[in-house]
Chain A
């Protein structure tokens, strides 16, 4: 099915001709004509993309789309969110149903090279992690020798787990379950010493336990799941807009520009801040936007750290640690590219 869909996607792209745009992005033009951005998101992943009881979309991936809308329209509400499943997300992007896919999607080589999509920038470094009971007095995954681990069956998670234990010469007892819910229930009833899944989900799972505070997430990340927003291949100018939306948010955090102080920062003498906020030079125009594009993003959505903490970090029930997603200056991997 997936291979067939891929083949069709490629055939369609060839048949309709890759829309090449050099100066003006056709996607940007379509978005502007329509008056709203169409954003494909998850719809049921806590902290990343899901509705609140009033039906408003919230989450880290959702905020990213709001940031793009803020940059284009100066209005973060001009986004239509389309809930997508893991199965139909790429088709929705390829067929033009959505302008940008911001839905916890891992950037892999095969997806990048064969699906007719381009990944803009890694906005969340995810990866598989472990949760154990505090009573076990373990502080590193390397101390899990001989542990029994609850894991979902038939996933890459299960394979990564086996690889990790083997490469570290540790013995492992896996206890597998058909669904993640069951695996978590078993861990909660002490059938295994540890529970493993992607670390972004690990924090949400912890809240479902009977005593969340008796459990800790170990610092090791044993697999690579770089999550990135994606766009259709062939519209490089649009990809630029999506990519620089992310870097503007990271740059803003590096420079200490926040939602609250951005108006004051307009008078800052720091040339980097002046370029970011469009006080000097014309980087916005080179994207086909107005020069205060980044100012709008920060004004309405905030910088990268603010969005992170609000949706998945300390400001949210998930309380995910920044970890790999801290700024490079603080031991993480988020590195803002220079705007100049």
Chain B
């Protein structure tokens, strides 16, 4: 006797049917569009508006900055309307002609290799320090904070004894000044800001008072005022030969200003650390210094990393203010060059400003992306 199950039945399927593709309304490009762009009437309207906006804005921008743009030429004639190019776009030829001035400004041409070397040494140091899995990062820190400043100083301002002609800072400018001011500001403001934040939470009244006074005073005035004081008032108080170099004055002003902001950022991080952490560190027998260095600051800095980077990005863009006191930073060189009558055309200024904007965007976006990756790295490390 056979059971039903043993009996082969032709209408029973022995092999499962292959999976059907999901309905076209749910999957693939169409499904994605449907669920992301056209899910509700509101979304449909928004999508249509956005598409219309892109169609309205992007083609003319592409046309202006790429397709109709002028890439080569020797003077303004190239960027003016002509028979071959009746509707000229951005005048990139102008940027190409002036690019060396944007980078080096007045730095003597035969000495510009020194600036290049400085850029290389700086990016090497920054890469060493910022790449999380680089070998011997402690050595990297020594290089970045001790060796590099000395090398840079000797390279850039010169050391006649070893054959490097002196280059006064009045000849510095362009990207060089922007990088120098921003780097010095960042490198000085982080440790100084931490020190100020710790002093502000100190139990010694004098230390606390000094720190509070400094922070509140500096934060209470605009950076422009600080720069003006440094460059306009200081020379009136002290004889010319004792007053520090103009660039040094601006550097000090920017660095102190950034420190005050950094101090408040770090203080926020310190405040976020629960009391228990302090008490636990004390209970382990750690002194103040080791408690801060080993327990509190690592956690506080991790919490504040986004804010620290935010301050750095702000600082990087604030460097443009040194132009007010007659130092030609990158934006200052673009400002100067766009007045060149040899290149005067209706689009010269626009091109110059867009170029400057691109430069700042790339630098700031790079900083921001790096910070995101470090945050991700730290939060993984924090969980394990």
Where the two chains meet, the residues of A that have a C-beta atom closer than 8 Å to any C-beta of B are: 1, 5, 8-9, 12, 16, 43-47, 50-55, 80-85, 87-88, 91-92, 94-97, 181, 188, 204, 207-210, 316-318
Q: A168–B326 Cα gap in the complex (Å)? A: 41
Residues from 231 to 248 in B contacting A, C-beta threshold 8 Å: 231-233, 235-237, 239-240, 243, 246
Residues from 314 to 336 in B contacting A, C-beta threshold 8 Å: 324-328, 335-336
Q: A204–B346 Cα gap in the complex (Å)? A: 12
Instruction: Name A88's contact: one of B170, B171, B232, B237 (CB within 8 Å).
Output: B232
Instruction: Name B107's contact: one of A5, A47, A55, A318 (CB within 8 Å).
Output: A55
Query: Is B105's CB within 8 Å of the partner chain A?
Result: yes
The chain A residue with its CB closest to the CB of B328 is A83
The chain A residue with its CB closest to the CB of B106 is A55
Instruction: Name B345's contact: one of A5, A46, A88, A208 (CB within 8 Å).
Output: A208
Q: A50–B81 Cα gap in the complex (Å)? A: 26
Chain B residues, CB < 8 A from A47: 341
Query: Is B104's CB within 8 Å of the partner chain A?
Result: yes
Chain A residues, CB < 8 A from B335: 44
Chain B residues, CB < 8 A from A54: 100-101, 109
Where the two chains meet, the residues of B that have a C-beta atom closer than 8 Å to any C-beta of A are: 76, 81, 97-98, 100-101, 104-107, 109, 168, 170-171, 173, 228, 231-233, 235-237, 239-240, 243, 246, 324-328, 335-337, 339-342, 344-346, 348-349
Known: A9-B236, A88-B232. A50 touches B346 (CB 8 A): no
Q: A317–B335 Cα gap in the complex (Å)? A: 19
* B341–A46 touching, CB < 8 Å: yes
Known: A51-B105, A204-B344. A94 touches B236 (CB 8 A): yes
What are 13 A-B residue pairs whose CB atoms fall within 8 Å in the complex?
A8-B236, A43-B328, A44-B339, A46-B339, A50-B339, A53-B98, A55-B100, A55-B106, A55-B173, A83-B326, A84-B326, A96-B239, A207-B344
Chain B residues, CB < 8 A from A55: 100-101, 104-107, 109, 171, 173
B109 → A minimal CB distance (Å): 6
Known: A53-B97, A82-B170, A96-B240. A8 touches B346 (CB 8 A): no
Counting chain A CB atoms within 10 Å of each CB, the highest count among B228, B239, B346 belongs to B346
Please give me the 9 A-B residue pairs with the lowest Cβ-Cβ distance, nearest first.
A95-B235, A207-B344, A317-B341, A96-B240, A44-B336, A55-B106, A46-B339, A46-B341, A91-B232
Q: A96–B243 Cα gap in the complex (Å)? A: 11
Chain B residues, CB < 8 A from A208: 344-346, 348-349
Chain B residues, CB < 8 A from A82: 170, 326
Chain A residues, CB < 8 A from B339: 44-46, 50, 204
The chain B residue with its CB closest to the CB of A316 is B341
6 more A-B residue pairs beyond the given contacts A55-B101, A208-B346, with a C-beta to C-beta distance below 8 A = A5-B236, A43-B326, A85-B325, A85-B326, A92-B235, A317-B341
A88 → B minimal CB distance (Å): 5
* A91–B336 touching, CB < 8 Å: no
The chain B residue with its CB closest to the CB of A203 is B341
Counting chain A CB atoms within 10 Å of each CB, the highest count among B228, B233, B327, B344 belongs to B344
* A85–B105 touching, CB < 8 Å: no
The chain A residue with its CB closest to the CB of B348 is A208
Q: A204–B240 Cα gap in the complex (Å)? A: 36
Chain B residues, CB < 8 A from A91: 232-233, 235-236
B155 → A minimal CB distance (Å): 18
* B344–A317 touching, CB < 8 Å: yes
Q: A129–B337 Cα gap in the complex (Å)? A: 25
Instruction: Name A85's contact: one of B97, B100, B109, B324 (CB within 8 Å).
Output: B324
B177 → A minimal CB distance (Å): 12
* A88–B81 touching, CB < 8 Å: no
Chain B residues, CB < 8 A from A81: 170
Instruction: Name A43's contact: one of B104, B336, B342 (CB within 8 Å).
Output: B336
The chain B residue with its CB closest to the CB of A91 is B232
Q: A10–B324 Cα gap in the complex (Å)? A: 24
B333 → A minimal CB distance (Å): 8
Chain B residues, CB < 8 A from A1: 228
B186 → A minimal CB distance (Å): 26
Chain A residues, CB < 8 A from B324: 85, 87
B326 → A minimal CB distance (Å): 5
* B81–A210 touching, CB < 8 Å: yes
* A95–B106 touching, CB < 8 Å: no
Q: A318–B339 Cα gap in the complex (Å)? A: 11
* A51–B336 touching, CB < 8 Å: yes
Known: A44-B336, A50-B339, A50-B340. A95 touches B109 (CB 8 A): no
Q: A85–B335 Cα gap in the complex (Å)? A: 13
A241 → B minimal CB distance (Å): 20
Chain A residues, CB < 8 A from B232: 5, 87-88, 91
Chain A residues, CB < 8 A from B107: 55
Known: A55-B106, A97-B235. A317 touches B342 (CB 8 A): yes
The chain B residue with its CB closest to the CB of A40 is B326
Known: A50-B336, A51-B336, A53-B100. A204 touches B341 (CB 8 A): yes
Chain B residues, CB < 8 A from A181: 349
Q: A88–B243 Cα gap in the complex (Å)? A: 16
Chain B residues, CB < 8 A from A50: 336, 339-340
Instruction: Name A207's contact: one of B76, B100, B327 (CB within 8 Å).
Output: B76
* B101–A51 touching, CB < 8 Å: yes
A151 → B minimal CB distance (Å): 19
Chain A residues, CB < 8 A from B76: 207, 317
Q: A85–B332 Cα gap in the complex (Å)? A: 12
Chain A residues, CB < 8 A from B168: 80
* B231–A88 touching, CB < 8 Å: yes
B113 → A minimal CB distance (Å): 15
Q: A210–B337 Cα gap in the complex (Å)? A: 19
A210 → B minimal CB distance (Å): 5
The chain A residue with its CB closest to the CB of B104 is A55
Chain B residues, CB < 8 A from A84: 326
* B236–A12 touching, CB < 8 Å: yes
Q: A91–B246 Cα gap in the complex (Å)? A: 13
Chain B residues, CB < 8 A from A80: 168, 170
Known: A83-B328, A85-B324. A318 touches B341 (CB 8 A): yes
